[in-house]
Amino acid sequence: MTAVRVRGIYATALTQLLSNGDENHEIVQPSEPIDARFEASFADVPATVTIGATGDRLGVGVTSTDEAAGRAVTETIAGLGIDALSWSDPVSSEAVFDGRVTDTTANGVVVNLGGEEGYLPSTNADGPVEAGDLLRVQVERSVPPWDEDRPVLRCDTAVSNGFARLVRGDTAPPSNAIDVTDLLSTEPREGWTVRWNDRATDASFDALTDALTDLNDRADHIERALEDAPLEPEQRTRRVAVGSMSWVWFGRDTRFALDEHRRSVTTTMDGHHRIKAGTGAASAAVDFTEAVCEPTGSFPFEVTARQFGPRVGDRIALHHGKPDGRCLDLGRGEVTDRTEETITLERRMSPGGTYDALGTERRAGDTAVTKLTEGRWWYPTVYRSAEGQRRGTYVNVCTPVELFPESARYVDLHVDVVKHADGTVERVDDDELEEAAEEGFVPEPLADRARTVATSIERAFEE
């Protein structure tokens, strides 16, 4: 059985999914709400796989001490819905790199990790650092591929497992009142110091012994990797010891699939995860609603938008996700109209270049009017000149649109349909969709849906 620890706004749904499926998964170290909601008895043992919601609540990160186990869990989660997408991450949490400093900032340095970059805050450095320096660093915090931030690095080396943190070369006295190490049948690996956390307070000696043994084994793996990779000034950047990590982005359909799993355990309103993904305030409102009544009916988009946005007059971003995990910001626009589940977004375009696929020159004064409908697999943008003349229409085929208070989000599926100013209809970028499918970025069922949607739009334009 693979021991899995789950945290964040998707914890109940994923606990239900992983503990009741055909896979050999065992939920461990439950949070208090999870322990209360499930009748099952969960073990307090170290986790092989840890799942946590991303900071923006749009998906989850899956870290593992066993690559095969992490991959199996990721595949199970990504199989929840047609619009769930996953990516592996070479810059995984606790991975160790030999990196070279490429740039300095007021509060830290940028480190080239060999194809990727990380950020080392000055507070995490051992001393003064300059451009060109070669450093051995560990990843303190990874970031999902759609996040513009760099992974955060540190110069010390440590491993943790929910019960404690084992730090290499740390000989400072413990910073908390828990000191049970002397009572256990095992000791921290030589040269490493254990720091127990709050969960250790109520754990049995057997559980703490297992936790420390797990940390010692992982520390041993790092030590052996470091011995095989001595730090030399002339070395290029490279990975020294790497953990396993992947990210899963949840689309709208997948969030509703998560609702179904959660609903089999506890009271869950329709759109529970969709609303929680919007803002922290909306998340709290969902918890309150479910605590005081039994919500009925379909996802209340109009009520949600009226309370939290987007509202007419708001300026929101158009976050254009790509199948390889990146997210492009197409700029902010003003919400000029909202009817039921559709908003109209108007953006002022800067001059220079041409509009993709349309081949039309971008001129000063041009506007882009985009109509976005919650849950729709496509959206149109009409480009007009300063005088109001239509310069072409671009229909983007994508995963179901989600209209959050600060942004509209989706993942672009490459294939699109355009209608030129002269009325000519053209379908574009099928080759890019085929390439993305071949590379594994777009699962074939999702690619088929994109093709079907594009064909329907073509027919509608030609009628």
pLDDT in tens, the chain (463 residues): 899 999 999 999 999 999 986 668 999 999 999 999 998 889 999 999 999 999 999 999 999 999 999 999 999 999 999 999 999 998 999 999 989 999 999 999 999 998 899 999 999 999 999 999 989 999 999 999 999 899 999 999 999 999 999 999 866 555 554 568 888 889 999 999 999 998 888 889 999 999 999 999 999 999 888 887 665 656 567 787 777 899 999 999 999 999 999 999 999 999 999 999 998 889 999 999 999 998 888 999 999 999 999 999 999 999 999 999 999 999 999 999 999 899 999 999 988 888 887 888 888 999 999 999 999 999 999 999 999 889 999 999 999 999 999 999 999 999 999 999 999 999 999 999 999 999 999 999 999 999 999 999 999 988 7
**Is residue 77 classed as helix, strand or coil in its secondary structure?**
helix
Tally Cβ neighbours within 10 Å of residue 341.
16
**Phi, psi values for residue 171, rounded to 5°:** -115, 10
Q: Selecting from 3.30.2290.10, 2.40.50.140, 2.60.40.10, 1.10.10.10, what CATH number does the domain 96-243 have?
A: 2.40.50.140
Burial of 346 (0-12, 13-18, 19+ CB in 10 A): middle
Angle at which helix 67-78 crosses helix 11-20, to 10 degrees, equals 110
* Cβ atoms of 426 and 411 closer than 8 Å: no
**Radius of gyration, CA atoms only, the chain:** 25
Q: Which two tokens stand for residue 108?
A: 């830290």
Residue type, 445: P
Straight-line distance from the first to the last Cα atom of the chain, in angstroms, rounded to the nearest whole number: 57
User: What's the pLDDT at 224?
Assistant: 87
Q: How many CA atoms lie within 13 A of 331 on its CB side?
A: 12
Residue type, 281: A
Q: What is the DSSP string of 249-282?
A: E--HHHHHHHHHHHHTTS---TTHHHHHTT-HHH
For the chain, the structural domain boundaries read 2-88+246-263, 96-243, 315-462
Who's near 179: CB < 8 A, 6+ residues apart?
196
Helix, strand and coil content of the chain, in percent to the nearest 5, comes to: 30, 30, 40
Report the C-alpha gap between 356 and 370 in whole angstroms: 15
Which sign does the torsion angle of CA 270, 397, 442, 318 carry? negative
* Cβ atoms of 446 and 82 closer than 8 Å: yes
User: What's the pLDDT at 153?
Assistant: 97
Q: Return the biggest CA–CA distance within the chain.
A: 82
* Cβ atoms of 335 and 311 closer than 8 Å: yes
User: What's the pLDDT at 175?
Assistant: 52
**Fold classification of 315-462 (topology level):** FomD barrel-like fold (2.40.380)
User: What's the pLDDT at 233?
Assistant: 58
User: What's the pLDDT at 315?
Assistant: 97
User: What's the pLDDT at 230?
Assistant: 62
User: What's the pLDDT at 138?
Assistant: 95
According to DSSP, residue 149 is labeled S
pTM for this predicted structure? 0.93
